[in-house]
A and B are shown apart, each in its own frame.
Chain A
Amino acid sequence: MGMWYWWTILGMAVVTYIPRAFPLTFLEGKELPPVISGVLRNIPYAVLGALIFPAILYVQQDNLLFGLIGTVVAFSLAFLFSNVMVVVLGTIGVLAIYSLLF
């Protein structure tokens, strides 16, 4: 790659950093109207819903069953144990066994 590559990285770095840093620094110490902060408090749970579904089904693009099993195992483990690490390692473990067998 030539010099253009480094300029591209610089550009990518800047446009990635702005959306991360602007709200956190600009909004520091500002009291938002209750309606807005109410909506903002909802964001984490809505984001999680959108991040999980439907992408979790397609972790192996050619194998929907794989994603489906992963989904069921992850939710089951999460309902049984409120520990993120147990959910992550348990789901990986079950799917590893599944891919070894099938």
Chain B
Amino acid sequence: MNNNSFVSGMKAGISIAIGYFPVALTFGLLAKTTGLSILEATAMSIFVYAGAAQYMSLTLISKGVDPILIVLNTFVVNIRHFLMTAALNEKMQSEKRWIKGIYAFGITDESFSVLATQKEKKIATPFAFGVAIIAYSSWVVFTAVGHVIGANLPAFLQAAMSIALYAMFVGLLVPSMRGSRKVVMLALVAAIINGFFYWTGLLSTGWSILVATLASSIFIEIIYTKRGKNLPKGA
């Protein structure tokens, strides 16, 4: 089977769908307790499709915060996607802009991670659609389900499933770490910087991830470029 097909994209996206399941379910439930109708809650998942920003918006709505501030906050939380999609663009097959504009809607931390760590040098457009659609479907459907049933999973399962997305990130990172010290260093330095901002409380999560990622990527690139130049010519 073509390893770059729509179906293989959907397969690669299944772990995202599993990880979104408990998060979306809880979002639907919280939206209900915040006073959103099922239509309003599901519409947010359909049109916005951004986990962290949606959760925050519920808190802000319940506090009666000015909608303009809610929108601004959403932008700030999602600014890091500028960096991710710029990076992803290097890996994507050349494609008409309007088509890229469609699957761009499906780029989240999770779908970005799955796409950007694929071993193929270039990713085909159908593969990106496959990943995006299965993840998006899970998010939208389980938002509605969470609102309808108005209850969570059994506590032990809810707790256990809260690890799913992080386990997926680990599962994507570790195989790339094998045989590449550069990958190990990139992840390690970014993790340390992010931890620093987290524990000192200097930056909010969205900014912290953005700054840690950028700083690590630039720092490690400088080190490796310098080393490369120090090698004798022809070596």
Contacts and interface: CB of A to CB of B under 8 A. Distances in A.
Contacts of A8: 57, 61, 67, 70-71
Interface string B3-18: 0000000001011001
A84 B174 CA distance: 10
A27 B86 contact: yes
Given A49-B191, A78-B174, A92 B163 contact: yes
Q: How large is the interface on A (under 10, 10 to 19, 20 to 34, 35 or more residues)?
A: 35 or more
B166 A55 contact: yes
Main secondary structure of the interface of A (DSSP, over half): helix
Interface residues of B, number: 98
A73 B160 CA distance: 12
Contacts of A32: 90
Interface string B63-107: 000011011101100111111111111101011010011001101
- Top 8 A-B pairs, shortest CB-CB distance: A49-B187, A87-B171, A44-B116, A78-B174, A11-B71, A53-B191, A43-B87, A49-B190
Interface of A: 1, 4-13, 15-25, 27-29, 32, 35, 37-56, 59-60, 66-67, 70-71, 73-75, 77-79, 82-93, 95-96, 98-100
